[in-house]
Structure 1
Amino acid sequence: MKTICGLDCCGACDRKEACGGCLKTNGRPFGGTCVAAEWMKKGGKDEFLRLKNNLIDEINSLGIENLQIADLNLLNGFYVNLEFTLPSGQSVKFLEDKNIYWGNQVEIPESDRCYGLVADDSFLLVCEYGCGGADPQIVMFQRRQAGTEIKKQNLV
């Protein structure tokens, strides 16, 4: 299945029939927003790659021990939208199940836990969790840094 951004996220997705496909939905699978499709539509391939590399650099510069990545994956919100328990006892989810985000998972050395990270244009979330997303804890949640905006470019 072809995608707007050129990545093969549809080929590996077991829910592609439910989403409608990237091209058929103009980059709005499941009725939500795909960050990669939006970047590509607004800025073209060069800007898409620049923004993705800037996000990787942003993550790697957080200074979180053992959190270094070389690439990002497109992840369905329904897959990564973990429920966190706040100090007040309230349970909350921060993501939209219908959106597609950039993300990755990094195993924490000598631990049975992993870092999970999820981002789009407006936020960056890093959490830590056990097997299968058990007992997720927020490490940091912040607005994205200035300078990550998309420069409009004519696509011919």
Structure 2
Amino acid sequence: MKTQDILKNIREKNNLTQEQFAERINVTRQAVSRWETGETQPNTEMLKVLSKEFNVSINTLLGAPRQLFCQCCGMPLGDDAMISREIDGTFNEDYCKWCYTDGKFVYTTKDSLLDFLISHMPNPENTPDAERRKMFDSHLSQLKHWK
């Protein structure tokens, strides 16, 4: 989906006219109209405003051009409900809400996350814990948070 369609859908989902939408984010109705026709796109700062005001990640506003993965545990962030937030409520698209909550990391060490994974991840093949730990560690070591 294109940004122009996403913005129009957000506006309509909130039962707002272009003028009401514009007032809510302090732009002109004409700016909203140009966004919805694809003539222009919101700039970076406006994307942040839209994200916060309408509870939608910037990645979603841009039509999800990239697949997001938690940079702590590696989980795919398939929808905005899984994405972490900063204390001010803005999205932090680098982490899932289970690894990063209220502006803080839940797992302060890689070992604490590895302990959690070993105890909670299914092990249908009964792979020894030491082998599983090594496999998880190898994967986690490639993520931004643990580099």
State the TM-score, normalizing by the size of structure 2: 0.31
TM-score normalised by structure 1 residue count: 0.29
Q: Higher Cα Rg: structure 1 or 2?
A: 2
Task: Decide which structure has greater strand share.
Answer: 1
